[in-house]
Structure 1
């Protein structure tokens, strides 16, 4: 599937905020209450701009990915596929691309967390091989092993 990840430019913060709000508002609102100013400040201070990518399919913007690299893992903070683009396996294609890139970079696993009430997202990630590693009232933490966590030789930048 023709998925591209394009860096979000610094002047697109408001567009990113709108997409993030669209994606997580119901969950944040029910747990903590939504406050635009607080969420804007949190987005600006807790997430680095280079973690964000616009997701394109066939040249059309279909969503947003926020992913943070760690030494041996890649952590997905947000995967938001626009509502009109959902149900077409685009999220699965984005995650497959992320898994391949993370493995190429020598990562052993991909981790993420989801709101406990976001049952659709949890089922989606479980279908992709993610397992729940921790759960509380608000969040479910999940992990999916890659090659080196499965006992395969670790590949870094294309070399063993």
Structure 2
């Protein structure tokens, strides 16, 4: 399955915010309480615009990805597949693409965090070979080693 990653433009902030809210609201609300103003500020200050990509399949937007490169790793901040496209292996296709890109760039691993209550996401990542490396009541951190080329 082929997916394309396309950069997000500055003018698309509202669509990005709406997508993040759609994907994370129940988990953020349960742990911290959702505050639109705080979350908007966090998205603009704690994340770089070039970390975001729209996920496209057959030129249609099917989700949003946010990942940050580190020297030896790639950290996935967000992988949101729109509800109407879930269950079609799109998330697995995106992650396979990220794994290939990270390997080509000489990264050792791909890391990510998930809300502990998002068991569906945690099971998804574990099926892809991710191991839980630490966790608490709110979050779990996962990592997958890569074969260096």
TM range (shorter): over 0.9
Structure 2 partner of 1:101: 101
Structure 1 partner of 2:29: 29
Which has the larger Rg? 1
SS at match of 1:147: coil
Instruction: Give the drift of 1:2.
Output: 1.6
Gap regions ≥5 residues in structure 1: 149-154, 156-160
Gap regions ≥5 residues in structure 2: none
State the TM-score, normalized to the length of structure 2. 0.99
CA deviations on 1:52-73 (whole Å, 9 max, x unpaired) are 0000001100000000000000
Separation in 2, partners of 1:21, 1:122: 19
Separation in 1, partners of 2:88, 2:15: 23
The number of residues matched between the two structures is 149
Separation in 1, partners of 2:145, 2:118: 22
Residue 16 (1) aligns with residue 16 (2):
yes
CA root-mean-square deviation? 0.5
> What stretches of structure 1 move > 6 A for 4+ residues in a row?
none
SS at match of 2:107: coil
